[in-house]
Amino acid sequence: MLVTGAAKRLGRSIALALAAGGWQVAVHYRSSAQDAIETVAACASHKSASAHFEADFQDEASVKALVPRVIEHFGQLDAVVNSASLFEHDNAQTFGFAAL
């Protein structure tokens, strides 16, 4: 199981829940390497095989290489949970709907 954005927040919770359920978990991250390493260690505490994989989703070559790397490591890929996103801190005063 590949979980994108699994180093932190909701993606991490999803990865841990899947590991607790016995899934092998590929922990994707973009720039949070240490958090990804910690997520992999937490998955391992559930006796689940896991590994971390860096990929920048704004780089097409990086995206195209991710799934083959996961398959090379685990031998197969059963499913993908897309949880990656850009996270920007805001509050009630700064929240808005500005066009990207």
Residue with tokens 């990865």: 15
Residue type, 31: S
**What is the C-alpha separation between 56 and 11, in angstroms, rounded?**
16
**What is the C-alpha separation between 99 and 27, in angstroms, rounded?**
30
Distance spanning both ends of the chain, measured CA to CA: 31
**What is the C-alpha separation between 32 and 43, in angstroms, rounded?**
16
State residue 7's pLDDT score. Answer: 96
Mean pLDDT by groups of 10 residues along the chain of 100 residues = 96 97 97 97 95 96 97 97 79 68
State residue 77's pLDDT score. Answer: 97
State residue 85's pLDDT score. Answer: 75
This prediction has a pTM of 0.84
Task: Map out the domains of the chain with their CATH numbers.
Answer: 2-81 (3.40.50.720)
How many residues would you count in the chain? Answer: 100
